[in-house]
Structure 1
Amino acid sequence: MNKKIADLRMEMNKVIKGKDDIIVKIIMTVLASGHILLEDNPGLGKTTLAKTFSKATSMQDNRIQFTPDTMPSDILGYSMYNQREGKMEFVKGPVFTNLLLADEINRTSSKTQAALLEAMAEATATVDNVTYQLPKPFITIATQNPITSGGTQALPDSQLDRFMVRLSMGYPDVQSQVEMLMEDHGQNPIDAVQPVMSVEDLIQMRTEVANVYISYEIADYISRLVDATRHHDKIECGISPRGTKAFANMAKACAYMYDRNYVIPEDVMYVIYDIFKHRLILTPSARREKNGAENIIYDICQTTEAPSMAGERSN
């Protein structure tokens, strides 16, 4: 594994105990130029994870706490009249940053949620018909509570599709909880996090990930897996072309994380659940089934033949 990535992983594990798999997927998603949705109950460390990542990668970060009365201007910014200069001036909102932590995004209105769409898709913000470029890189890590929580509403499908992955941290195991208690000395653990990567390092790594090789066989494999979601009797709406591209980019990042410049079927299988789960729109009967999406993805994986990559490894 790349030394800077290994150092980043180690630094994050100092604060986020027992969640190395989530940390790895966060790093992969950022390397793949994606945005992240963290869904879990309150108090499980979603915000702490995002802030730890920001500090360890030397990125500027801003946070928005979404509420029912949050307005689009609270995200993007607004124009105001400068009496001294005698002209209108644009006041930048918190979206003008490297890492935007959108906390409890599903507690605000659909109109306000939609204000993030352009920023997430194009890394730009348009206010009063003027388009502004956001800093590079621009990453959104959004958190949401389960829709069964009071005061929440489901994100629209168009916005869910903008997130490369949806992850769930879950509760820490007993040993991790013990470590957290033993290391609690009344200080914020994020204060001890050291930057181990620069913004320039991250931009360079993203370029290298984009250049990871996908063979015809892997491209065909990814396409057949995606196509299976569009013809499954328990799926109303399958993976979009945008989702297909995210799938391929995430597989590239997985290969890069483990020092390969080409994708193998194991990379595809490692990322498929996190790419597919939040994008599949199931039939009403499938939604009533326990673990419906996971079971469907498993079925698709089992019935879609993987290519043999014996010759690919020697390249």
Structure 2
Amino acid sequence: MPNGAILLGNNVVADSYHKRPIRVVTHAHEDHTKYLSRSISESLFIAATPVTHEFLKVLGYSIPQSKALLLDYYKEVEFDNEKLKLIPSRHIAGSAQVMVETPQGTAGYTGDFKMPGTPPLQDLDVLVVDATYGSPHLSRKGTEWDALGALVNIIEVESPNNPIIIYGYNGKLQEIMVELRIRGVSGAFLADETTLKLAKIASKFYNVELGDVRLYSRDELLPGSIAFIHLSKSSSMIRVPAVHVILTGTERRGPAVKVNDKVYRVSFSDHATFWEVVDYIRESRPRKVIVDASRGFDSKFMAKYLSNVLNIDAVSEP
């Protein structure tokens, strides 16, 4: 739909508002929780993984217990002769793909995902696929692991003499906290209350202890410490004396680019590249593909490529 709603079967809508009994939230990013308050008011159930429900509560959404449908991965529920289940998706903590089986056929929706680590949905009549990077020219140089390595190197070089501030979105920030701890980065982590609450939930999901984590204040921002700040605050924080690291999937010059003495851009994204989406669809082999044009770029190119190269019936919508 034009507002980004994904309609599956006759009863399910995902990631935006439409008047249907069940609203699925694939994950807790803002572009997938659009009009959620209206859905809470009008839908019978709000379905998501337990972790996503915890995230939504921290982010201020009040879902009545009678409407909160907590679905573990692969747990199937039936409503009005249709079956709904959530499949794991590697994006942020708790993110999920959606499958709806109806008497007329089976539909699936990837939500946001990246590869490897997201199992392609199988035996689908229709697949709605995320294509944030819908053409090859949007591809980043290097892999996710190259970007993480570059980030660790920046921290090792800069942190003895400077505090570090890392900017990103909710979900990505918590994932980076976990990845840095796995790679032996031991400095104090600083963040606001919301980011820390989300980090506590994510650390349980990833089964990684975050160690020294504190509430952000300017007094705590010392050499060796790392602050995690929402990307929307970067313009107001950029003059704070520190080394500033912006996590972005749009940096295509290399895994990390030094903008000036105090600013870096690191090419870290939680979305599949064009070729990873193609590999996903090649393995999934749905009978038809709808490329989500409401959130990505070059969705029409992706649809044409799937049609002409993989010989799959594919369209871009809306």
TM-score by length of 2: 0.25
Higher relative contact order (CA 8 A, sep 6+): 1
More strand as a share of residues: 2
TM-score by length of 1: 0.25
More helix as a share of residues: 1
